[in-house]
Structure 1
Amino acid sequence: MTTIKTALRFVTHRIARHPDSEPTVTAECLRPGCGWSVAPTSDVKRADVDCMAHTGATGHAIFARKYEDMAVVVRET
């Protein structure tokens, strides 16, 4: 019979955006048949303004927004 001993260590970690990356956002209008979208950009505020301008021009007010970034998990000291 083999006995296995395990030492458990609980270490606190955190997750954050990797410092060498920028977030990317895209958005698309959900109005059936519209097809309007924001191309991938790191300028999140600009994407929001573009969505609001689309609403002003068309009355379409619902969008799917997608955010993507590169994350890193680091051990807390």
Structure 2
Amino acid sequence: MTRAVLRYVSHRITAHPDSDPAVSARCLHGDCPWEVHARSSAKAVDVECMQHTGLTGHGIFARTYEDVAVVVRNE
């Protein structure tokens, strides 16, 4: 008879310490093609969205936040 030993190891996921999150946005008003490509500053993206609203009156945006994650064992 073959026996197996199963061991469970606890892990956690966190943002990679050597990377910055990237933020982008796009206008959701009708067929508006306006978008902000990925930036490392959410505040800079927000300012660009507000400027777009001021120029066009479009006020609804989809914002995307992306980061690099790393999974490590819990000690």
Name structure 2 gaps, 5 residues minimum. Answer: none
Aligned pair partner of 1:49 in 35, 42, 47: 47
Check 1:59–1:9 CA distance in 2 against 1; reply closer, same or farther (3 A cut): same
**TM-score w.r.t. structure 1 length?**
0.81
How much does 1:38 deviate?
Answer: 0.8
2-side partners of 1:45 and 1:7: how far apart?
51
Q: 1:51, CA displacement in angstroms?
A: 1.3
Q: 1:41: Cα distance to partner?
A: 0.7
Once residues 64 and 24 of structure 1 are traced to their aligned partners in structure 2, the CA distance between those partners, rounded to angstroms, is 14
Given the two structures, how large is their TM-score scaled by the length of structure 2? 0.82
Q: Deviations over 1:20-66 (max 9, x none)?
A: 11111111001122211112111111111211222233221211212
Aligned to 1:64: 62
CA-atom RMSD in angstroms:
1.5
Aligned length: 75
Amino acid at match of 1:10: Y
Matched letter for residue 20 of structure 2: E
**Percent of paired sites with the same residue:** 56
